[in-house]
Amino acid sequence: MSLLNRDKKYPMFMPDGTCIEQTVYLKEVINHPRISVGEYSYYHNFEILEDYAAYLAPYLFQLSPDKLEIGKFVQIAHGVRFITSSSNHKMSGFSTYPFMNFMMTSQTTSEDILAMFEETQSKGDIIVGNDIWIGFEATIMAGVEIGDGAIIGAKSVVTKDVEPYTIVAGNPAKVIKKRFDDNIIQNLLDIQWWNWDIEKIEKSYSIITSDNMEAVIALHESS
C-alpha cells in the first residue's frame, strides 16, 4: 500500500504520529470553478487557513474569465500568491478608479460584471506545470506559464513565462540558470515521471531525486 495518499487533506505526519496541519494537499482543500490542481501538489502556510483558494488567488472570482491551473507534485511555500487578471483596472481612460465596483445594486447582473472584467483585458490564465518549487512569498502574475521542473526564488515577482527546469528570482524575476543541460531537460520532459503509477514513484523516489539520468531512463523503460 502506498504511503503517498493523494486523498489526504493533511499528508504530512511525523514519526510520532503528529499531524502537520499547516501542510495540505491543495486538491483536497480547493473547490473553485476557476482553479484546477493536480495530485500531490501541496501548500504549506504558517497558519491554518479557512479558504485556501481565496488566499492563493485572492482576485479569482466565480465569474472571472481567467483560470489558475496547477499541475502535479507542485511545492508551494508560505505566502505565495497568484495575481490573476481579475485584479486589473481599466487603464485606457483618464482615471483608473473602479467606480462600478462600488456602485453595484440589486439590478446589477452577471452580464454587467462580466462586462467589467472584459474592460480590463485579461492577460490569460496562470499555468503552473509539474514538479515545480515556488519559494516563500513569491508572486505569480496574470498570464504567466511556468514550465515543468522550474524553481521560483523566495519573494520573486514573476511577470513572464518561465522555461522548464529553469531557476528564476528577483523582482521582476530574472533567469538565474538552467538546472540541467538541454539534453537532460528534454529527457525529463519526455519521461514525465509525475505521470507514473504512484507505487513506482514511491518505490523509486531516491532515483527520481538523484542526478542519475541513466537510472531515470532505465526506470522509464521498465515495465
Q: Annotated catalytic sites, by residue?
A: 89
Classify residue 180 as exposed, middle or buried by CB count within 10 Å of its CB (0-12, 13-18, 19+): middle
Classify residue 62 as exposed, middle or buried by CB count within 10 Å of its CB (0-12, 13-18, 19+): exposed
Whether the upstream peptide bond of residue 172 has omega within 30° of 0, thus cis, is yes
Q: Point out which residues pair with 133 in neighbouring strands.
A: 75, 151
Task: State the CB neighbour count (10 A cutoff) for residue 123.
Answer: 15
Q: Are strands 166-169 and 174-178 parallel, antiparallel or unpaired?
A: antiparallel
The residues, any chain, with a CB within 8 Å of residue 148's CB and separated by 6 or more, are 71, 129, 130, 131, 132, 164, 165, 188, 189, 192, 194
